[in-house]
Amino acid sequence: MDRERAKQLVDLLDEVIWRFGSQGSDGYCCEDISYVEYRTLKVLAKVGFLTMQQLGQQLGFTKSGATRVVDRLEAAGYVRRERSEYDHRVCCVTLTDAGRELLERVVEEYARKVEMSLERLDPDMQDVLMASLRSFVRTFCGG
């Protein structure tokens, strides 16, 4: 890929991030949480519970950065800290029922918006789009 194609990809990604990320002037992406907080809830929903260190690694933050995000989510009642059953010195983070319900509402809202856009593509192009995005995530995100 040459430099111009790389720049085009950056522009396309910027457009996607703007449409799906935190775009409100108050910093909230969905209901009363920021995009970083939303991503934190998604990670916890997928894994169940994580230590603060593991959560930071999953999000690409330091442990102290993850702690600040968890502090806000805990104050809102969306996550809780628990001591590890294997090592009581270790603090683990997990979703509360309120956090799980919020995440479900946000995902449903995003899905509703995307569904309306997908309807403008024929089914073959939908398959191409999905395959391309899966390949992109594997290549650029290690997932």
Q: What is the pLDDT of residue 28?
A: 59
Confirm or reject CATH 1.10.10.10 for domain 28-141, answering yes or no: yes
Who has greater pLDDT, 1 or 119?
Answer: 119
Work out the mean pLDDT of the chain and round it to a whole number: 86
Cα maximum dimension of the chain: 54
Please give the pLDDT value at position 10: 84
Tokens in use for 110? 């995003």
Q: How far is the C-alpha of 34 from the C-alpha of 38, rounded, in Å?
A: 6
The domains of the chain are located at 28-141
Predicted confidence band at 64 (pLDDT cuts at 50, 70, 90)?
A: very high
Task: State pLDDT tens for residues 18-33.
Answer: 776 655 545 557 788 9
